[in-house]
């Protein structure tokens, strides 16, 4: 593939990576953390995805006993 076609296909950036994060997952994570630990919407959204998932995993472990 030519360099020009490669740049057009990749929109000038590097290939791969996450283009977006499913909105439904964000709502689910915010609802779970807000409900269980009473964090504000802003506090939860200030966490990155990996941190939100980790907190949810830890909360679920505690709930399961």
- Domain extents in the chain: 19-64
Q: Is the pLDDT of residue 8 over 70?
A: no
Determine the pLDDT at residue 21: 75
Question: Over the stretch 20-65, which tens digit does the pLDDT of each residue have?
Answer: 778 888 899 999 999 999 989 899 989 988 999 999 999 999 989 8
Report the b/e string of 26-50 with b at 16+ CB within 10 A.
Answer: eeebbebbeeeeebeeeebeebeee
Determine the pLDDT at residue 23: 86
- Predicted TM-score of the model (pTM): 0.61
């Amino acid at each position: 593939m030519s360099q020009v076609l490669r740049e057009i296909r990749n929109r000038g950036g590097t290939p791969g990576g996450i283009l977006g994060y499913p909105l439904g997952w964000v709502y689910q994570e915010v609802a779970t953390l807000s409900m269980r630990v009473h964090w504000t919407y802003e506090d939860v959204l200030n966490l990155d995805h990996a941190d939100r998932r980790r907190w949810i995993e830890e909360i679920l472990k505690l709930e399961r006993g």
